Amino acid sequence: MTGKAQVSVFIIFAIVLVVLIAIFFIFRGNIISVEQVNPQVLPVYSFAENCVKKTAEDAIYHISATGGYFYPANISTKNSVAYYLYGKNNLMPKRESIEKELGDYMNEMLFFCSRGFQDFKDFKVTQSDVKSSVKILDGKVVFEVNYPLSIEKDNKTFSVSSFKTEIPVNLQKVYSAAGEIMEEQMTNTEVVCMSCIGKISVEKYLYIDMYDYEKNKVIFIIVDRNSKINNKELEFFFANEY
Report CA-CA distances (Å) from 177 to 53, 140, 204, 212, 224. 26, 16, 8, 20, 10
Going through the chain in order, the beta strands assigned E by DSSP cover 83-86, 89-90, 124-127, 131-137, 140-153, 156-167, 207-214, 217-229, 232-241
pLDDT at 19: 54
φ/ψ (deg, to 5) at 66 = -110, 0
> Quick check: is 101 in a domain?
no
Look at residue 135 and tell me if it is in a domain. no
Q: Please check the confidence at residue 39 and state whether its pLDDT lies above 50.
A: yes
In this prediction, residues 5-15 reach a mean pLDDT of 55
Determine the longest span between alpha carbons in the chain, in angstroms.
Answer: 94
> Looking at the predicted structure, is the pLDDT value of residue 25 above 80?
no
Residue 162 counted as domain residue: no
| 11 band by pLDDT with thresholds 50, 70 and 90 | low
Is 210:221 a contact under the CB 8 Å cutoff? Answer: yes
Please state, in angstroms and rounded to a whole number, the distance separating the CA atoms of residues 27 and 32. 9
Helix, strand or coil, per DSSP, at residue 167? strand
CB 44 within 8 A of CB 120: yes
Q: Is residue 134 part of a domain?
A: no
Q: How far, rounded to the nearest angstrom, does the alpha carbon of residue 3 sit from its chain's CA centroid? A: 59
Instruction: Report residue 3's pLDDT band, with 50, 70 and 90 as the boundaries.
Output: low
Instruction: Provide the pLDDT for residue 18.
Output: 53
**pTM to 2 decimal places:** 0.83
In a domain, 9, yes or no: yes
The count of structural domains within the chain is 1
**Residue 61 within any structural domain of the chain:** no
Looking at the domain assignment, is residue 3 inside a domain? yes
User: Domain limits at 21?
Assistant: 1-35
Q: How confident is the model at residue 33 (pLDDT cuts 50, 70, 90)?
A: very low
Residue 47, in any domain of the structure: no
pLDDT at 17: 58
CA 177 – CA 214 distance, rounded (Å): 24
